[in-house]
Amino acid sequence: MRKKIIPLVKDKWEIDDIRSQEGKVFVITGANSGLGYFSTKVLSSKGAEVVMAVRSMEKGEKAREAILEEYPEASLNLMELDLSSLDSIHQFSEQFKDRFNRLDVLINNAGIMQPPRLETVDGFELQFGVNHLGHFALTGLLLPVLINTGGSRVVTQSSIAHLFGKINFDDINHVRRYGRTKAYAQSKIANLYFSYELDRRLRQINSSTISVAVHPGYTRTNLQKSGPQIGGKSLMSRVYSVIDRIFAQKVEMGSLPMLYASTMDDIEGGDFIGPKRIGRGHPKRIRSNKRSYDLIVAKKLWELSEKMTGIEYQFDQNN
């Protein structure tokens, strides 16, 4: 059943409205660029301890140094995470649990968009493997820490593209027929199925941990170019360059839904936060497409994701 839409506490919410985040630990995937980088900078400026989960340690260190230049007191921890590799996800999770005993907010932000057909190290179609399965695995491995941290939350980045998404269970890795946009849309509606199903399962054990989904609208980041440019510049990447200059909003605005969902007290499990208008604007509580609320598909995808990743979620209240 779809939730009734309740207005947020403030109509035009801004970064200045974020209260102190001192004492809280955040993990942000894809923290070295775009939405992840800006959110890392904002949250660390508010006193949060942020774990920057990045694929490239070199790029991550440059991003970390840039933030420290602006905010010398920022608490930033750089850790390697390649969401296209289950081994890397396991290693990151073990290292995190060795270093931290709490996790207040896990922000599943990193993603790839519309590359040519490629596979992850484990043989998954790259977009489904990184955008959905990688974050599914990461969240499952960090779940005990999240559950043990009172009032924690999982914030998962979806996209407007979910509107066109459908889970192709007969060809989940798009082996028989691959379309860049169709595969991307599948991964983004998968983010929503995962976020909503995770929250339902957390509610079943009366956990104080909640799961929330967000989307940034149409925001100018490297996402639109980096995927299509894999293997060389493409017509699609050139088209995005033009569209971005005309229609895209700045990263500062596109980050607001994710920051709101990560910090505000009026957020509830199962929420979906996005821009007021479909592509841009201040954050508001919105509703995803009807298909994304299908309980049967959500359960089937969950079970398939556990099978594909080899990670079975442990919903143990006594962890």
* Catalytic residue, candidates 37, 178, 184, 293: 184
> CA nearest 194: which of 114, 108, 126?
108
What size, in residues, is the chain?
Answer: 319
> CA nearest 189: which of 213, 216, 223, 220?
213
CA 219 – CA 233 distance, rounded (Å): 20
- What percent of the residues of the chain are helix, what percent strand, and what percent coil, each to the nearest 5? 45, 15, 40
CA 260 – CA 17 distance, rounded (Å): 9
Q: Which helix (H) or strand (E) holds 186?
A: helix 180-204
Rg of the chain, C-alpha, whole Å: 18
Structure tokens given for 2: 């779809």
Q: Is 240 a catalytic residue?
A: no
Spatial contact of 149 and 104, defined as CB atoms under 8 Å apart: yes
Residues facing residue 40 across a β-bridge: none
Q: What is the DSSP letter of 61?
A: H
Spatial contact of 180 and 114, defined as CB atoms under 8 Å apart: yes
3-state class (DSSP) for residue 211? strand
Residues 6+ apart with CB under 8 A from 251: 34, 35, 38, 219, 220, 221
Q: Which residues participate in catalysis according to the annotation?
A: 184
